[in-house]
Amino acid sequence: MWITAGADSVHAVWCKPIEMEAKAVVLFCHGNYGNLSYSDEMIAPMVEAGFAVLAWDYPGFGLSNGKPTHAGIAAMGQRVFEAMTARDDAQGKQVVVYGFSIGCQVAARLSRDNSGRVSAFVLDAGMKSFTDMALLFSPEEAHPMIRRYVVSPYSSMEDVRLLEGMPKIIAHSPEDKVAPYSHSEEVFEVAAEPKLFFEYPGGHISAIVAKKDEMSAAMARLIECGPSNNE
């Protein structure tokens, strides 16, 4: 399926359980590596657990056109959110926003911007902000310039503070070699209640793969706590 905003169109896929009614709908925000073709191992366990999933490629990723800017991705994410919640087969369903890696920044912002409509959100292997990741991968002598000029237009570290009452899972593996485990610990520390820290083994963005049953159960418990927002 295609979702359009202005001159840009992004490619998306809608996956849902075949033999059961979906217990909730999930907006899937992938990381900065690859595209939807790399995401099937994360999407499939959620569908098997009874969730319907809308996954999309950011502008400039995969088959999507446009330029991938932070502001542009967030704006298109809102358009994708609207398209998902407008679907006939999404009506009356709880809404979960699930972000992976850099997609955690988008997921947290969409959850904040739609706080009356999102039931819960998950941040898997995220970071505090775009600025913090730039600092992590740059020489120390460049840090003053980065702090001054590489300003995050939005950050999960700030957004999670404001989402009081919205259930949330912060997930990370201590073995992650891409995004520091400590970033998720700090995000969890400042996040408003209710919240759950979900630790899993393995590498980057593999919570739903490494611990499929446990993560699916945790997501189900969270949406039971949240209001039914998509009515």
Q: What is the tens place of the pLDDT at every residue in 54-69?
A: 999 999 898 999 888 8
Domain at 220, CATH number: 3.40.50.1820
Please, which residues bridge with residue 198 across strands? 171
The answer to the question of residue 230 being in a domain is no
Query: Domain range holding 40?
Result: 2-225
The answer to the question of residue 231 being in a domain is no
Beta strands in the chain (DSSP E): 2-5, 8-15, 24-29, 51-56, 94-100, 120-124, 168-172, 195-199
pLDDT band at 231 (very low <50, low <70, confident <90, very high): very low
The answer to the question of residue 18 being in a domain is yes
pLDDT band at 159 (very low <50, low <70, confident <90, very high): very high
pLDDT tens, residue by residue, 162-207: 999 999 999 999 999 999 999 999 999 999 999 999 999 988 888 9
The answer to the question of residue 113 being in a domain is yes
In the chain, the number of structural domains is 1
2-5 and 8-15 as β-strands: parallel, antiparallel, unpaired?
Answer: antiparallel
The answer to the question of residue 55 being in a domain is yes
The answer to the question of residue 161 being in a domain is yes
The answer to the question of residue 75 being in a domain is yes
- Is the predicted pLDDT of residue 26 greater than 90, yes or no? yes
| pLDDT given at position 169 | 97
The answer to the question of residue 186 being in a domain is yes
The fraction of the chain above a pLDDT of 90, given in percent, is 68
